[in-house]
């Protein structure tokens, strides 16, 4: 079966459904996007690594990576290999130097590990045909309360980029935000840290 390489296009959070996030993957050489609803913990784990934040203590996925590297196990590829009744299935393709092993994983966990091992993410063409949508790069999928399911196509164009908490951050000085970011990281409040980092990044662009 033909495999299609994917890249992480965006990660958005809901203003109406607490704890639900949309991870948007896009094909490397095309315009199709694959939005997947994931849980808050996994979303934070992905965002922290993408933003190169430094948690005060290792997260579960960081621990997995450290454990694997200690015993010379490499994750060479993540493959989203099936879609059954709205649920994505993924696996890790690993190697210990002498053999290749496939390990079943939740899609959100697999992506969180992919960004840590800096390994490629693939899916099959039939999955993109079934759940993929054509989406602008700066668009995000609507959020629902389900986990690891494709975003309904009729909601794909709904974009919500700010929240009430972000409005509070806009009123703070850059120095105050930097101090708040460090405090949030020290207290392991990674969702708050991600939102503060978003505001700081936005100021850098403007």
Q: What pLDDT, in 10s, does the model give residues 150-197? A: 544 433 333 333 334 556 777 788 888 888 877 877 766 766 777 777
3-state helix, strand, coil in the chain (%, to 5): 40, 30, 35
Query: What order do you get walking across the sheet with 121-124 strand by strand?
Result: 100-105, 87-95, 74-84, 121-124, 3-13, 20-27, 32-39, 133-134
Model pLDDT, residue 190? 65
What local confidence, expressed as pLDDT, does residue 146 receive?
40
Q: Is the model's pLDDT at 91 over the cut of 90?
A: yes
Residue 58 has pLDDT above 90, yes or no: no
Q: Is the pLDDT of residue 41 over 90?
A: no
Residue 188: predicted pLDDT = 65
User: What pLDDT was estimated at residue 181?
Assistant: 79
Task: State the chain's mean pLDDT as an integer.
Answer: 80
Radius of gyration of the chain (CA): 17
pLDDT at 140: 40
pTM, entire model = 0.69
Evaluate whether the domain defined by 3-159 bears CATH number 3.20.20.70: no
Confidence of residue 149 (pLDDT cuts 50, 70, 90): low
Which segment of 49-53, 62-66, 74-78, 94-98 scores lowest on mean pLDDT? 49-53
What pLDDT was estimated at residue 109? Answer: 96
Q: Pick the residue with more confidence: 70 or 182? A: 70
Beta strands in the chain (DSSP E): 3-13, 20-27, 32-39, 74-84, 87-95, 100-105, 121-124, 133-134
Domain range summary for the chain, segments of one domain joined by +: 3-159, 162-206
């Amino acid at each position: 079966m033909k495999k299609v390489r994917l890249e992480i296009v965006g990660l958005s959070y809901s203003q109406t459904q607490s704890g639900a996030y949309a991870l948007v993957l896009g094909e490397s050489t095309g315009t199709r996007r694959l939005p997947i609803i994931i849980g808050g913990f996994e979303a934070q784990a992905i965002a922290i690594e993408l933003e190169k934040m430094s948690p005060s203590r290792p997260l579960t996925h960081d621990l997995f990576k450290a454990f694997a590297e200690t015993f010379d196990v490499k994750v060479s590829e993540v493959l989203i290999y099936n879609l059954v009744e709205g649920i994505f299935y993924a696996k890790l393709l690993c190697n210990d130097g002498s053999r290749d092993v496939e390990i079943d994983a939740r899609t959100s966990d697999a992506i969180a590990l992919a960004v840590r091992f800096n390994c490629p993410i693939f899916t099959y063409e039939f999955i993109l045909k079934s759940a993929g949508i054509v989406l602008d790069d700066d668009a995000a999928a609507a959020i629902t309360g389900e986990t690891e399911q494709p975003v309904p196509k009729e909601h794909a164009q709904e974009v919500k980029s700010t929240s009430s908490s972000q409005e509070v951050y806009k009123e703070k000085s850059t120095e105050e935000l930097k101090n708040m970011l460090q405090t949030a990281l020290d207290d392991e409040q990674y969702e708050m840290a991600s939102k503060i980092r978003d505001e700081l990044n936005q100021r850098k662009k403007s």
